[in-house]
Amino acid sequence: MTATASRATSIRVPFADLQAQTAEVRPALESAWRDLLDTSRFVGGATVETFEHEWADYCGTRFAVSVGNGTDSLTLILRALGIGPGDEVLVPTNTFIATAEAVVLAGATPRFVDVLPGTLLVDPAQVEAAVTPRTAAVVAVHLFGQMADMTALAAVAARAGIALVEDAAQAHGATWEGQRAGSVGVAGSFSFYPGKNLGANGDGGAITTSDECLAARLRSMRDHGRSETDRYVHDLIGTNSRLDAIQAAVLSAKLKRLDDWTAARRRAVALYREELPGTLQLVDEAPQARGVHHLAVVRTAHREEVMAELAAAGIETGIHYPVPCHLQEPYREFAREALPVAERAAREILSLPMFPHLTAAQVSFVCDALHASRAVDAR
């Protein structure tokens, strides 16, 4: 997340606001903390298992395996699938760096693919064109809260004989043709970083899957590759990536609020759509997709000026993301070609304030500022 430093008290519309969320669940968190101090079971245990069941149910998968963060979840999925040195993994270049980072951490080679101009999500035709005999998987990133075209990607993955993995770190509860994020591919990767749609009070992550063997491998790998039956026998080379019990308690409490918070995000988007200037539109939503609007992204050719005008009006904005992964210095060695759709979008995208407790008055205030803007309509 781009954390725009909040400047004093002049901010009238923050980019995001976690305090209102925390206030809603505060009593539940305080009693969870007291219970935890009583049991002193700080890592793993019943609190974590309860949340894992709740999360699998919510996503419509048989299993959820909690981990330390959303980068580990993606890295562990790839490793558990046996993907490593010599393998290529296709990823959209327009994503948070962690998607590509996880591929490198697993020992594999990221290959970057361009995105569709309307949704800015991975282009299935370009995924298909990028498949080589070394390709082992494609990571569908459900960026901004909208699922990528999973019908087309599933067909491409089946034809190519590669794994379809979902990076759902921005898409808790989003659907594609009625199926939830994390339930379509072989496994889904979630982050519970505080700013995500479902956020812990620290770092956290989870993997969803309906593959029993994969779930068992992942449970072992997140805990030093331990055997299920003997904690001093290590069957696999794992890592330490476990969810703290306190974070599981926070996530269980917030999960009860998630559908209401998503509905509030959708209301804010509907208002933006009504009130934004005609020349400034939110990125497209595919008819098969029901997004959860992690971010509200518009495009403008005069982005820096528009950002400055909004900042002067007390409105915080962000850019997700200003540099596509294939142009980030450590990843250039994996880049093969220009990816013009994502490169152009990176210069034009602007993320408007978006969080569940954003009020209608605040959305109108942002839209009024954009109507008054000289840069928005400038040609």
Ligand X SMILES: *Cc1c(COP(=O)(O)O)cnc(C)c1O
User: Where do contacts with ligand X occur on this chain (CB under 6 A)?
Assistant: 69-71, 95-96, 98-99, 141, 167, 169-170, 191, 193, 203, 205
Q: What are phi and psi of 122, to 5 degrees?
A: -55, 140
Residue 76 CB, shortest distance to ligand X, in Å, is: 12
- Cβ atoms of residues 94 and 167 within 8 Å: no
Residue 26 CB, shortest distance to ligand X, in Å, is: 23
- Active site (catalytic) residues: 196
**Tokens of residue 376, six digits:** 């928005």
- Cβ atoms of residues 375 and 309 within 8 Å: yes
According to DSSP, the residues that pair with 282 across neighbouring strands are 298
Residue 91 CB, shortest distance to ligand X, in Å, is: 10
Residue 303, helix vs strand vs coil = helix
According to DSSP, the residues that pair with 43 across neighbouring strands are 244
> Residue 21's closest CA among 238, 319, 253?
253
**CA quadruple 325, 327, 331, 335: dihedral, nearest 10:** 100
Which is nearer to ligand X, 271 or 355 (by Cβ)? Answer: 355
Which is nearer to ligand X, 99 or 126 (by Cβ)? Answer: 99
Residue 198 CB, shortest distance to ligand X, in Å, is: 11
Which is nearer to ligand X, 294 or 303 (by Cβ)? Answer: 294
Residue 313 CB, shortest distance to ligand X, in Å, is: 28
Report strand pairing: 175-176 vs 179-180.
antiparallel
Point out the residue whose Cβ comes nearest to ligand X.
70
Which is nearer to ligand X, 51 or 96 (by Cβ)? Answer: 96
Residue 289, helix vs strand vs coil = strand
Residue 373, helix vs strand vs coil = coil
- Sheet containing 163-167, strands listed edge to edge, beginning at the edge strand earlier in sequence: 63-67, 205-209, 187-191, 163-167, 135-141, 88-92, 109-113
Count, residues in the chain: 379
Residue 99 CB, shortest distance to ligand X, in Å, is: 5
Q: What are phi and psi of 164, to 5 degrees?
A: -105, 115
Which is nearer to ligand X, 47 or 191 (by Cβ)? Answer: 191
Which is nearer to ligand X, 265 or 302 (by Cβ)? Answer: 265
